[in-house]
């Protein structure tokens, strides 16, 4: 029995020129469960959304690169992600969930497999990590050129930021910190997020606008927050769909609409290229000689 809705086929036509080698810097892959079984301790069970589905979504949106963030439903088994990366000819990369006792040899193999970071969940329905876990892992991955991804909410974000600034590796705040936008652009949490402009190791994903806006399309309430982040730290901003949108509130988003929202908020073509192409290349080191989409 599934407790997540399936991904929606995007219907909204993209209304701007998507730059070559544009990247969806935050998406997931689920199964197919017949080949890549879900973890027995998962907190949700989604329908399959495998490599072929992801590749079709990418082609429909005019995107060529993707960062596959390991979902809770696959636990520490990275097989679905690394298989997708291997099929992408260097155009997909991954962010792992890893146990604290991961070995040096395992990290090196994951690096060869295209993994470029480790994610930690601090939101209430997925929580389990501590800042000590994050710090210890950061020390282990520093020489690999990896980064830490933080999935936080407003309360945990404010608690985490002072420690994150001391990490020896870059860190990324997913989904704009999932702040409470009802508190406005000058809330304590959002102002703390914007202050990351002064921390050279800090990055923010302007993904999850649908989640910030409570699932009410076209998610207008979240647009100003995206723009504020883009305006203040354009060199360290990433964009992603969060496809196939596990555990969303309201109707599953149309990914074409999400890309158009980014295009409307970020009107300058050169800045779009920076966020969609240049910035992700810094962190994920895609095969730069590829200008065609991933293939099976």
Task: Name the strands in the sheet holding 23-27, side by side, starting at the edge strand that comes first in the sequence.
Answer: 23-27, 65-69, 92-96, 115-121, 147-151, 171-173, 202-205, 237-238
User: 252: which DSSP letter?
Assistant: P
Just list the catalytic residues.
242
Cα dihedral 28/32/38/43 (nearest 10): 50
Nearest Cα residue to 280 out of 222, 224, 237: 237
Give the integer Cα–Cα distance in Å for 237 and 13: 24
Q: Assess contact for 6 and 250: CB atoms under 8 A.
A: no
Give the integer Cα–Cα distance in Å for 156 and 36: 32
- CA-CA distances (angstroms) from residue 104 to 100, 110, 111, 133, 218? 11, 10, 11, 16, 45
Helix axes 154-164, 131-141, angle to 10 degrees: 40
């Amino acid at each position: 029995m599934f407790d997540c809705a399936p991904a929606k086929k995007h219907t909204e036509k993209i209304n701007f020129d998507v730059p070559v080698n544009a990247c969806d810097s935050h998406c997931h892959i689920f199964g197919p469960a017949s080949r890549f079984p879900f973890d027995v301790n998962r907190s949700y069970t989604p329908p399959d959304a495998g490599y072929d589905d992801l590749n079709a979504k990418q082609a429909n949106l005019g995107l060529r690169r993707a960062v596959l963030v390991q979902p809770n439903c696959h636990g520490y088994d990275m097989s679905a992600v690394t298989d997708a990366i291997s099929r992408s000819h260097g155009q997909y990369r991954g962010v792992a969930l890893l146990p604290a006792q991961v070995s040096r040899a395992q990290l090196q193999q994951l690096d060869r497999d295209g993994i470029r970071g480790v994610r930690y969940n601090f939101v209430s329905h997925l929580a389990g990590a501590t800042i000590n876990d994050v710090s210890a892992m950061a020390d282990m991955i520093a020489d690999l050129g990896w980064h830490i991804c933080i999935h936080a909410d407003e309360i945990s974000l404010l608690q985490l930021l002072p420690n994150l600034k001391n990490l020896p590796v870059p860190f990324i705040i997913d989904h704009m910190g999932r702040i409470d936008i009802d508190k406005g652009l000058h809330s304590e949490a959002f102002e703390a997020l914007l202050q990351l402009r002064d921390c050279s190791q800090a990055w923010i994903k302007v993904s999850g606008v649908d989640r910030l806006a409570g699932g009410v399309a076209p998610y207008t309430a979240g647009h100003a927050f995206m723009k504020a982040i883009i305006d203040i730290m354009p060199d360290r901003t990433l964009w992603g769909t969060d496809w196939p949108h596990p555990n969303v509130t309201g109707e599953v988003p149309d990914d074409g609409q999400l890309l158009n929202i980014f295009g409307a908020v970020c009107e300058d073509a050169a800045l779009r290229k920076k966020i969609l192409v240049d910035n992700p290349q810094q962190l994920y080191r895609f095969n730069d000689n590829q200008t065609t989409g991933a293939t099976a």
